[in-house]
Each structure stands twice: as C-alpha cells, then as structure tokens.
Amino acid sequence: MAACNSSLDGKVVLITGGARRVGAEIARTMHGAGACVLIHYQSSERAAAELAQELNRARSGTAAVQRGDLLSAEAPGNLVNAAVRAFGGLDVLINNASSFAPTRIGEITRAQWNDLIGTNLQAPLFLAQAAVPSLAERRGLILNIVDIHGLRPLKGYPVYSVAKAGLAMLTRSLARELGPEIRVNGIAPGPVLWPEHGMDEALKREIVGKTALQRHGSPEDVARTALFLAGDAPYITGQIIAVDGGRSI
C-alpha cells in the first residue's frame, strides 16, 4: 500500500475517464493539491500509464491506473477495490467518463441508447453504489461531470442530452439519499473542449456566441471547480455548478 500524506488531508480520488482531456486535467489538479489518484481508463492505456508516471515523478507512489469497461457489472466494485488496495480508502469519486454521439429521431438504435445511457447515467449510479461504504467511512464526495445540455438540450443529440439530464437528477437524488455522510455535487461544463469526432464549425460559433463571456473555456476551469468542491466546500451538496461562460443564463 502506498503512503499518502498530503495537503488535501490525505484524500484519495478515483476518477473515471481520467487518462485524457478534461479527466486528465482534473487528475493533475487533484494530485497537485496533494491527493492520491486512481486513474480509470478503458482504451487509453498508454495515456493513462504516461499520466501516472508523470504524477509519480512528482510524488512517488501517489498515482495508479485501473482499466475497466464501465458497462460491465464487475467494473464498479473492481474500481473501488483498486483504490482501497492502492491507497487505503476512498474520499472522492469523480464520474467523469462520458460517451458523446449524435442521434437523430427516427434513426436511434438500441446500441446507441445503451451506450449513451449506460456510460453517462448507468455507470455513475452503480459506481456510486459500490463506493458508498468507503465514502461514508471518510465522509466523502461524489462529483458528477454533467453538462449544460442536461438542462438545455443540444439539437441533434437527444439521447446524450437525456442521459445528462438523468445524471443531473441522479446528483440531486443521491445528495438526498446519502447525506449526511456523503456529499454529492456536479459540474456542468459548457464549451470547454470540442468533441474529438468533430463538430460543425458553424455550430461551434453559435455555441460560443451564446456565452456571456463570448469565448470557450478550458479544462483547467473545470478542474479548479472540482478542486473547490473536493477541498473547500464542506457545506455544499446537491448542487450543480455551471462552468460555461454564462451560456446557461
């Protein structure tokens, strides 16, 4: 078991989809504040390993990786157990992994439904369920990365929007169910990173044009909010903070 004496009160963080993009920035930020980090990945093995090596060069033995298919029945328990084995407990579960794809009414398949609902809603629920005993012991936090499109649907992405809307309600429901031992909050990013599969340039301009700040944000904006909720917000639960440049107002 690795030692973890940190400025973030010795906290242990499990982050799904933590190898790349926003997830990797959250992992770096939490680790930089002193946390021990378990980085989950499904297919980005190299990126996960390189990130763990980077973090362990800064503080040896404070970052580990764990592969898992979040749609499998075994994954939630395996991930929580991996964090406990590596660092002795679990303080923060960050449900960051997401699946994003366009779907058109009349053409939606069951495979698309199962992937988008499964990754964005089903997996966070069962991960939370698996983590409850460990989190309750340490009066921990569940942090769900939602999306502003869970509140305001994105045209052409109805199933994704429905899944994120469900995750928003799951966040509030779990806060009610799991208090007072466990806090549950969410972050709803706006235009921070564009989808890797590409997005129409006109749609990008339209999205940014609807923000009050007239610009897109960065992964660091999301990571700093996650750090605040994990380390400096002991009386906040059941809330979803929009990090969207004012698009949701």
The answer to whether residue 157 is catalytic is: no
d(CA 11, CA 234) in angstroms, rounded, equals: 14
Give a yes or no: residue 47 inside a domain: yes
Supply the pLDDT for residue 219.
96
In a domain, 4, yes or no: no
What is the number of domains present in the chain? 1
Return the CA Rg of the chain. Answer: 17
Q: Which residue has the tokens 């994704």?
A: 160
Task: Answer whether 67's CB lies under 8 Å from 81's CB.
Answer: no
Which residues, including other chains, have CB under 8 Å from residue 146's CB and lie 6 or more apart? 164, 167, 168, 171, 186, 187, 188, 240
Tokens of 243: 């990090």
Closest C-alpha among 143, 147, 116 to residue 131: 143
Helix axes 45-58, 21-32, angle to 10 degrees: 20
Q: Residue 36 corresponds to which amino acid?
A: C
pLDDT for residue 5: 47
Mean pLDDT per block of 10 residues along the chain (249 residues) reads 61 97 97 97 96 97 97 97 98 96 92 97 98 98 95 90 98 98 97 78 86 93 97 96 91
Domain holding 168: CATH number? 3.40.50.720
Note the pLDDT tens digit of each residue in 149-186. Answer: 998 898 889 999 999 999 999 999 999 999 999 999 99
Residue 226 is assigned to a structural domain of this protein: yes
Sign of CA dihedral 143, 149, 153, 158: negative
The reply to whether 223 falls in a domain is yes
Is residue 2 one of the residues assigned to a domain?
no
**Looking at this protein, which amino acid is placed at residue 98?**
S
- 97 within some domain: yes
Question: Among 41, 157, 160, 235, which one carries the catalytic annotation?
Answer: 160
In a domain, 1, yes or no: no
**Contact 93/128 with Cβ under 8 angstroms?**
yes
Residue 4, pLDDT score: 55
Establish if 201 belongs to a structural domain.
yes
Domain range for 96: 12-243
pLDDT recorded at residue 193:
85
Query: Are 51 and 18 within 8 A, CB to CB?
Result: yes
